[in-house]
Amino acid sequence: MARPAARRPLRLVELTILLGLSMLLHSASRQCFVGGVAGRVPRASGRPLTQVQGAADAEVPGGFADRLLGAWRYQNGAYEIKMVDGKLYFQEANMAGQLSEQGEWLVAELPASGTIRLKLDAEGSVVSNFKVAGTEEWGDSITAVKEWETLGTKASALEKELDLMHFESASADGSVVVEVDGRQRPASLRISPEAASASDLGARILEANNQAAAASLAAMSERLRELYATHLGATLPERE
């Protein structure tokens, strides 16, 4: 009987993105923000994108539509810009509207909620403002970054940083010293002549390795918290 193939361990980049997706879904289920407007707003009708007000009229804005497509993250939430039947749409939670070009802005009406406008800045981020239904003034400018592409880049940089970190620990009697990198991978092992023939050599190695790995894991967890604090406006739960 053939044995199933071993599953490849997740790389830090993949794990980081999966954790980010989980946190994003959790955030979306608890909060309702529109393009960076903190606070609750009336919900739209929940109709499919193809039935959103104005869907039959506007054309896709030219020039930079491809750069806008995808999920965008700002401090308190995230939204998505997608293409449906050749037209460009803004969607956040169950609020959606077709984007049309108005000068330097792309503007979408979000029925029962208000109006969102957005544009790409020189850094490749999206700047948006929201205007609550029934008012005339635009809210504060909010900057959003490309969700998973940006997070993946940061996670890759973190991997390289962790690879250069070293954590060393010794057994209780100091006869065995184990060194691991920032991702808990063994880097070196030093054994004294006396310990080399000891009957409990394995236990000494395990003791030193566990201590070094624990220090490495603590440092990696802290760096992950810092990454999420800057990118997602959230932190990983504290380790007990």
Q: Are the beta carbons of 73 and 148 closer than 8 angstroms?
A: no
pLDDT at 48: 35
Domain boundaries, the chain: 12-151, 164-231
Q: How far apart are CA 49 and CA 33, in angstroms?
A: 19
Q: Do the Cβ atoms of 140 and 121 come closer than 8 Å?
A: no
For residues 40 and 27, give the distance between their C-alpha atoms in angstroms, rounded to a whole number. 14
pLDDT of residue 49: 36
pLDDT of residue 150: 62
Q: How is domain 164-231 classified at the architecture level of CATH?
A: 2-Layer Sandwich (3.30)
> Nearest-CA neighbor of 146 among 135, 138, 154?
154
- Residue 117: phi, psi to the nearest 5? -130, 145
Mean pLDDT, consecutive 10-residue stretches, the chain (240 aa), reads 50 53 43 41 36 35 69 85 91 90 94 93 90 94 78 79 94 95 94 94 95 94 79 49
> Burial of 74 by CB count in 10 Å (0-12 exposed, 13-18 middle, 19+ buried)?
buried
**Burial class for 215, CB neighbours closer than 10 Å (0-12, 13-18, 19+):** middle
